[in-house]
Amino acid sequence: MLADTDVPPVVEMRGITIRFPGVLALDHVDFFLRPGEVHSLMGENGAGKSTLIKALTGVYQIDSGTIAVDGQARRFETTADAQRAGISTVYQEVNLCSNLSVGENVMLGHEPRGRFGIDWNGVHREAERHLTSLGLELDTRSMLSSHSIAIQQLVAIARAMVLDCSVLILDEPTSSLDRGEVEQLFSVIRDLRDKGVAILFVSHFLEQVYEISDRITVLRNGQLVGEHLIDDLPRDALVTEMIGRELGDLAALSKNADREIDRTGTPVLRASGVSRRGVLQASDIDVYDGEVVGIAGLLGSGRTELVRMLYGADRADAGTIEVDGREARMHAPRHAIGHKIAFSSENRREEGVVADLTVAENMILGLQAQRGWLKPVPKAERDAIVAEYMDALGVRPADPTLPVGNLSGGNQQKVLLARWLATAPELLILDEPTRGIDVGAKADIQRKVAELSEQGLSVIFISSELEEVLRIAQRVVVMRDRGQIGTLDSSDVDIDALIDYIANSEEGSVTR
Amino acid sequence: MTAVETAQPERRTLTGALGTFTSRHAAVLPTIAAVAILIVLLVGAQMYFGNFLTARNMSALLLDNAYLMVLAVGMTFVIVTAGIDLSVGSVMAFTGIFGASLLASGVPLVIALPAMLVSGAAIGLLIGVLVQYFNVQPFIASLAGLFLGRGLAFVVSLSSIRVEDPALLWLQSTRFRLGDWYITPTGIIAIVAVVIGALVMHFTRFGRTVYAVGGSAQSARLMGLNVARTTVMVYVISGLCGGLAGLVLTAYSGAGYPRNGIGTELDVIAVVVIGGTLLTGGRGYVLGSMIGVFVYGTIKTIISFMGAEQSWTHIIVGGLLLLFIVVQRAIVARSERGS
């Protein structure tokens, strides 16, 4: 563990700027990677981590700035260029060919050749040598697809070794590994670091970042926030840097959180010990009539996974879900819909609005699905519903005949909200309803959620913005590293305490 | 550091051996199934007719389907990259009539032959460029190639052109005999095409890249392989095979005919799939496609032995195709569950 700032960096990225249509993905970001260190790149979704990595691996072209490797200025046009400069990448979804053998995946494009083409014995001998140097004993002739994702990740690293890389980029390598597999990966990473390889590590799991890293660089909204040695950056400081603070007129909204909730009866929904191997550790959540329960945690903490299981979009391996005190089977979304549960996905464009349909059609879609396709919603009823929600949510422009695709993100979100509200649900699950939308629309949506919950609707509200969660939810389920770590009363905590809780609390213990 | 993969202790049991085999060679299973079907067909036909498995009959099987085999080699490359080439039938017709007209106007075979191959490869290049650089679906791009090839064939001639060139006729009329077995130069061309195709697929980096692209083009690109060149090349190879098949078919029928090979592209796709190549790409063998051609040819021969309508060939091939696609789907689904 040298992590000495005096060591000349192997990678120097200066003033990197990348512009996508309408978005400044990276704004004059500097990034340095030194040999023999594990350097974590941190930031929330959209902070620019992937973009920076893709600039370094030649997937994206930079608009301005310089990249130097070993002191030599480089311009990467393709992945192959970056690989020739000694930069290898192992991606989250293993980018190998599962239809080929392990040995071939390690050696593809670098196969030893004899007089009659590829020397297959040589291929497997070489592959085995590289795998053994990582402490892996595998049948190199077996198909890659017959191995677990963890092994496939390690095979990808072995492939990087064939390329003789001096820089190894690991982009979310642990997101689908279990604890033991992470340990295997980490011991390989440490080994490589000690051999002088510079390792760029990206993970949403704070624990892992603190376990493996020597240095951290934080990005937010495409800008560099800071570079720190791991020991100089306590967890809460890191979380604060990643999330930032949100000020302005939102903070002026009245606190829905302080409303008293009657929790003496049976909860509308109670889930206990819901889990799925490798996806979510046992988590509990319960929601009472008229209550808003927030879910707080960083991206990848298991927020979305939990609510998808509540909704039946994914199946849980274990745990029980009760609706109104009776155990319910949630194996498909239609079960949840039958229990009057509505779910608005965080993936607005792909799982939400139908861009080519009009605002009115989008609003009515949920209700129509609930009634069945053979019983069309009468036109008068339909017009009334659309008019009501256009007005109540302040959809702009106020023309229900426009295609939804023409609306801004915030207004699309309002249309989605209207769609679910039109089905008169008893429980509404909102996954990141305010992500990437402007402040005005954000305030409208929060106000509507508060108002509805006052009228008795129960809501589960997921947001990356902790202030928003604390403002709107009476209780907050806190998640980290794919599992629930506690449930807090939001009147008991402020934002700093919540950040501290997310960053530091020991699993299972509830410290307030 | 300790060994990471807990290697199962070697147990000499049948299930253990089977496990090792399937973990290594799951991709061969469809081809093995094709071999099994071929054997069943041959043995069954022999038992039913009594005079089916004769040297004459088997030799004719290769001879009659030589053009199909050449096309199947090229098609295997394309389908392994998860592409499709609908143009091969009309490319074969075009190069055939083109070659025949060149020969008829007195051009020697040494010039006509390369001209046929190059024109086939050129149509393939066009399709490949459309697929790779203009992001056109292979189905659509090769459909354009199909119309182009057919149109060009009619431009060359509206009716058939007889071939008098002795060198070309030699390819068909010469019979190298071994007892009652015989093989014509066109048969040799088909076999050589299969052998070269199989060697390229298995023993060259290009061939392995073809598999990688079919497995996942995205992964292949990120692994630093030259995906663009490979994608274009497989269509060029298929076009080249189309040109070669044009030569073989012209020699076989003694004439170029612009209506040759209508619907042949579908037969070729069928034999490649029956031979064990996955339509979704990444798995398949040139040798498997050869087996597929033999299965197809055997069915055709059996039906003519029975004196039944040849349309039954299509019904049976269609049924087999369906069966194979289901079997492949099952194998893929199993290996996906395993991972």
Q: Which residues of chain B lie closer than 8 angstroms to A191, CB-CB? A: 1
In a shared domain, residues A157 and A214: yes
Could you tell me if A31 and A135 lie in one domain? yes
A346 in any annotated domain:
no
Residues A96, A42: one domain? yes
Omega before B108 within 30 of 0, i.e. cis: no
Residue A3 placed within a domain: no
Is A5 inside any structural domain?
no
**Cα radius of gyration (chain B):** 21
Q: What mean pLDDT is predicted for residues B270-288?
A: 92
Query: Who contacts A201 (Cβ-Cβ below 8 Å, separation ≥6)?
Result: A38, A39, A40, A41, A170, A173, A189, A209, A212, A213
Q: Is residue A334 part of a domain?
A: yes
- Does residue A75 sit within a domain? yes
Computed from CA positions of residues A128, A133, A138, A142, in that sequence, does the dihedral angle turn out positive or negative?
negative
pLDDT at A50 over 60: yes
Say how many CB pairs under 8 Å bridge A and B. 118
CA distances from A326 to A271, A320, A321 (A): 11, 10, 8
What average pLDDT does the structure give for chain A?
A: 84
Tell me the pLDDT band of B71, cut-offs 50, 70 and 90. very high
**Chain A residues touching B79 at Cβ < 8 A:** none
Indicate yes or no: CB of A139 within 8 angstroms of CB of B23: yes
Q: Counting beta carbons within 10 angstroms of the beta carbon of residue B266, is it exposed (0 to 12), middle (13 to 18) or buried (19 or more)?
A: middle
Rounded Cα–Cα distance for residues B291 and B73 (Å): 11
B335 and A149 within 8 Å at the Cβ level: the answer is no
| DSSP characters over A313-377 | SS--SEEEEEETTEE---SSHHHHHHTTEEEE-S-HHHHT--TTSBHHHHHHHHHHHHH-TTSPP
Given this model, what pLDDT does residue B252 score? 93
Q: How far apart are the first and last CA of chain B?
A: 25
Backbone angles phi, psi at A374, to 5 degrees: -85, -10
Closest CA to A8 of A30, A31, A32, A29: A32
Mean pLDDT of B143-166: 94
Domains of chain B: 29-338 (1.10.3470)
Q: Is A136 on the interface with B (CB under 8 A)?
A: yes
Q: Are residues A358 and A322 in the same domain?
A: no
The one-letter amino acid at A105: N
Here the ipTM equals 0.84
Cβ–Cβ contact A442 with B under 8 A = no
Q: How far is CA B252 from CA A78, A478, B87, B174, in A?
A: 48, 76, 21, 11
Which amino acid would we find at residue A364? I
**Which pLDDT score is estimated for A451?**
85
Percent of chain A with pLDDT over 90: 24
pLDDT on residue A190: 92
A84 assigned to some structural domain: yes
Q: Do the Cβ atoms of B212 and B223 come closer than 8 Å? A: yes
Residues 6+ apart with CB under 8 A from B24: A101, A139, A141, A142, A143
Mean pLDDT of B109-116: 95
Task: Give the separation between CA B321 and CA A222, rounded to whole angstroms.
Answer: 52
A113 & A89 share domain: yes
Q: Measured between CB atoms, which of B24, B209, B219 is closest to A96?
A: B219
| Domain end position, chosen among A424, A456, A477 | A424
Say whether A95 and B226 touch across the interface (CB within 8 A).
Answer: no
A230 and A102 share one domain: yes
Distance CA B210, CA B296 (A): 26
Residue A248 has pLDDT above 60, yes or no: no
| 8 Å CB contact of A142 and B23 | yes
Q: Which residues pair with B255 in a beta bridge?
A: B162
Q: What is the pLDDT of residue B77?
A: 97
Number of domains in chain A: 3
CATH number at residue A439: 3.40.50.300
Contacts of A42 (CB under 8 A, 6+ apart): A49, A202, A209, A216, A217, A218, A219, A238, A241, A242
Range of the domain at A511: 247-340+425-512
Q: Quote the CA–CA distance of A496 and A487 in Å, as a whole number.
A: 16
Partnered with residue A358 across adjacent β-strands are A403
Q: Does A149 touch chain B (CB under 8 A)?
A: yes
CA A52, chain centre distance (Å): 17
3-class state of residue B161 by DSSP: strand
Contact B251, B63 (CB under 8 A): no
- Residues facing residue A23 across a β-bridge: A20
- The mean pLDDT of chain B is 89
Considering A368, A403, A424, which residue would you say is the last residue of a domain? A424
CA B84, B85, B89, B91: dihedral to nearest 10 degrees?
Answer: -170
The pLDDT tens digits for A420-445 are 888 889 999 998 887 766 666 777 78
Residue of A nearest to B26 (CA): A143
Q: What is the pLDDT of residue A332?
A: 86
Looking only at the bridges linking them, the beta strands covering A72-74 and A64-69 are antiparallel
Question: By three-state DSSP, how is residue A27 classified?
Answer: strand
Output phi, psi for A373, to 5 deg: -75, -15
Q: Which of A382, A401, A424 is the last residue of a domain?
A: A424
User: How many other C-beta atoms can be found within 10 angstroms of the C-beta atom of residue A85?
Assistant: 21
A123-133: average pLDDT: 91
**A349 occurs within a structural domain:** no
A484 - beta bridge partners? Answer: A479
Quick: pLDDT tens for A164-194: 788 999 988 877 677 778 888 898 899 889 9
Residue A347 lies inside a defined structural domain of this protein: no
Same domain, A26 and A174: yes
Q: How far is CA A204 from CA A44, A157, A242, in A?
A: 8, 20, 11
The answer to whether residues B236 and B128 touch, using CB atoms and an 8 Å cutoff, is yes
Is A176's Cβ below 8 Å from some Cβ in B? no
pLDDT by residue (tens digit) across A342-364?
888 877 777 788 888 888 888 88
Model pLDDT for residues A25-44, shown as the tens digit of each residue: 888 999 999 999 999 998 87
A233 and A251 housed in the same domain = no
> Does A489 share its domain with A399?
no
The verdict on A419 and A430 lying in the same domain is no
Which token pair is B40?
């069943």
Q: Are residues A332 and A455 in the same domain?
A: yes
Residue A254 and residue A220 share a domain: no
CB A201 within 8 A of CB A212: yes
Chain B contact set for A142 (CB, 8 A)? 20, 23-24
